[in-house]
Copies of this chain bind each other. A is one copy, B any other.
Amino acid sequence: MSKLVGNAIFGQSGGPTSVINASAAGVITEALKTDCIPRVFGAANGIRGILEEKFYDMSKEDPRELELLKTTPSSALGSVRYKLADPDEDDTDYKRILEVFKKYDIRYFFYNGGNDSMDTCNKVSKFMQKVGYDCRVMGVPKTIDNDLDKTDHCPGYASAAKYVATATMEVYHDAMVYDTPMVCVLEVMGRNAGWLTAATALAAYKGTGPHLIYLPELAFDMDKFIADCKKAYKENNGKLIVAVSEGVKDKDGKYISEYGSDLAKTKDSFGHAQLGGTAQVLANVLKDELNCKTRAIEFSLLQRCAAHCASKTDVEEAFTAGQKAVQFAVEGTTDHMVAYERSEKDGKYFCNYILVNLADVANTEKEVPREWINAEGTGLNQHFIDYALPLIEGESSPPIEEGLPRFAKLKKVLATE
C-alpha cells in the first residue's frame, strides 16, 4: 500500500490507568519521528477535544517530559466519557470530526481506551470509509478491567493487578495483627468482569490473601456468602478477609451495593450504574452475623492510578502497543486495534503484538472463564495464577525528586491550523 502522508491525532478515553500515558508516549514519540506524519496532535479530553477543535501540538513538548509519561498515571491529555450517536440516526458529530480532520489534514487517528472507546473508534472509522475520506484509524487498548475481547490481556490491567495484590498482602499483615477477631472486606473495581478482583488471588497464592473471593461472573447469593464466611471465620480462628468485586449482583441482577446502601445510584453517561459501597454493605452484614469488628476497604481510585507500584511488563507493553499502532497504520492498516497475543520465547512468557478488527472488540466484555474459578465460586485456581504472574513481573516507578514521584508536566500548547 502506498504511503499516506498526513497529520496524526491521538486521544485518550475512559477511566484512567497507570499506563495509558505509556501508550501515549509510544504513539506520540513514534509518530513524531515518522516521516509521513508532519504534525502530531494530542486531543484534549479525547473525542471531545476533536469536536471542539481543542488539541495540543505535541512537537512543542520537551522530549524528557514525553519520556516521563511512561511512569505518569491517569490521562495527561485529559479523558472523556462521551458516546457517539449511531451515525444512521444522528451524524452531526461525525460530520464535525470530518470537518476538523480535513481542516488539519488529519490522516491518522489513534484512540486509546476500553470497549466503549473502541466503539467510538469503530464508528469514526466506518464513517470515514463511507464518505471516502482516507484516514487510518487505530485503537490502542487500555482498561484495568481487562475485559476487552480478542486480546490476551489489556494494558493497565497488570499494574492495577500488581497494586491490588501487593496492597492485599499488606492489608492481610495488618488485619491479622491483633489477638481479637477481625473481618475485612476488600472492594475491587470491575462491573461485569472480575479480572481485577481475581488479582487478590495472587496474594492468596503467596499465603497472605483473602480467604474468599467473589467475582461478578457468578450470581451472588447472600445466604451462601454468609455460610461461606462463617465457615472460613471459624477455620481461621476469627480472622477473615474477603475480596469482592464492586459489581457483584444477585441472580436477579440486583447489585449488592443496592441492598442496604443509601449511596446515590446515579447513572453515568454510558448508562452504567455508579457502583460503590458493596464492601460496606457486606461488612455490615458480617458484623451482624459474626458479631465482631468488621472493616470495609475500597481500593477506589488508588487501584487504577498507583503508578508507584506499576508492572514493568505492563508499562513496556503499553508503550510498545502505542508504537505498534503507529507502525501498523503507516504500513497501511486501518480499522484495527493492536492486541496482545501470549507466546513463549526460551521457555518464558513473551508478548506478540497482533491486529484485531475494531468491530470485533467494540462493546465486547470478556469475563473470567468459569474453569478458572474454584467449584465453590470463592476463589481462583492455578489457571488464573499462571495467567497473571508473568504480567505483573518487573517493577516500574516514576523517578523520585525529594522523596516523591516526578510526574510528567506537559506544556499543552494549543495547536493552530
Contact = CB atoms under 8 A, between A and B. Distances in A.
A245 to B, nearest CB: 18
Contacts of A167: 302, 306
A178 B171 CA distance: 30
A88 interface: no
A400 interface: yes
Interface string A80-116: 1100000000000000000000000000000000000
Contacts of A44: 179
B311 A179 contact: no
A348 to B, nearest CB: 13
A177 interface: yes
Interface string A49-72: 000000000000000000000001
B179 A308 contact: no
Given A73-B174, A305-B171, A305-B173, A403 B297 contact: no
A297 B402 CA distance: 25
A192 interface: no
Contact of A407 (B169, B298, B301): B169
Contact of A404 (B16, B174, B203, B299): B203
Interface string A162-186: 1001110111011111110000100
Interface string A136-166: 0000000000000000000000000010011
Interface residues of A, number: 62
Interface string A277-306: 000000000010000010101111110111
A168 to B, nearest CB: 10
Nearest to A46: B179
A173 B74 contact: yes
Contacts of A301: 170-171, 174-175, 184, 295, 297
B81 A178 contact: yes
Count copies of this chain in the complex.
2
A170 B404 contact: no
Contacts of A308: 166, 170, 309
B173 A72 contact: yes
Given A295-B300, A306-B167, A74 B176 contact: yes
22 contacts: A16-B174, A44-B179, A73-B173, A74-B173, A81-B178, A165-B404, A166-B308, A170-B301, A170-B305, A170-B308, A171-B302, A174-B304, A264-B287, A266-B293, A295-B300, A298-B298, A302-B302, A309-B309, A392-B403, A392-B404, A394-B403, A395-B400
